[in-house]
Structure 1
Amino acid sequence: MGFQLTMRHKRLIRLPEVIAMTGLSRSTIYSHMSQGSFPKQFKIGARIAVWRESDILSWIETMEQQ
């Protein structure tokens, strides 16, 4: 179980999954990114941007604690 949990948190996720996890709209995500209050995406290809799932989960935990 620990291995599966560890591997899950090392996943790279794309925008539709980030939207589903956070409940935020695309424009809100990019707005928060530009303000520095949301994890930054990074490119893994010419037209492919992803986030680390662990970064998004950490952000969600931070929001829950506020």
Structure 2
Amino acid sequence: MSSEKQFWRLARVREETGLCTRSIYDGMAAGSFPKNFPISKQARAWLSDEVKAWKAARLAAREAA
């Protein structure tokens, strides 16, 4: 497995998290989901490591409950 950071577009983020687009953007606005960043004039992406960390935190919260 590569340690290189990957850029994930919205479709991949939705697939990885199971969240809908609205939930992703609401989470970003609330500060509870990683923010995206521009990769070109019109395209935006998320860092895979940040989305994976968000997933791990959600699982840890579930285990702690």
TM-score under structure 1 normalisation? 0.88
Counterpart position of 2:6: 11
Superposed CA deviations along residues 11-52 of structure 1, whole A, max 9, x for unmatched, are 101000000000000000000000000000000111100000
How many residue pairs are counted as aligned between the two chains? 61
Aligned to 2:50: 55
Q: 2:33 aligns with which of 31, 38, 44?
A: 38
More strand by share: 1
- Whole-Å separation in 1 of the counterparts to 2:30 and 2:7: 22
| Structure 2: 5+ residue stretches without partners | none
Aligned-partner residue type, residue 19 of structure 1: R
Please identify runs of 4+ aligned residues in structure 1 that moved more than 6 A: none
| Letter of the structure 1 residue corresponding to residue 47 of structure 2 | R
Which 5+ residue runs of structure 1 have no aligned equivalent? none
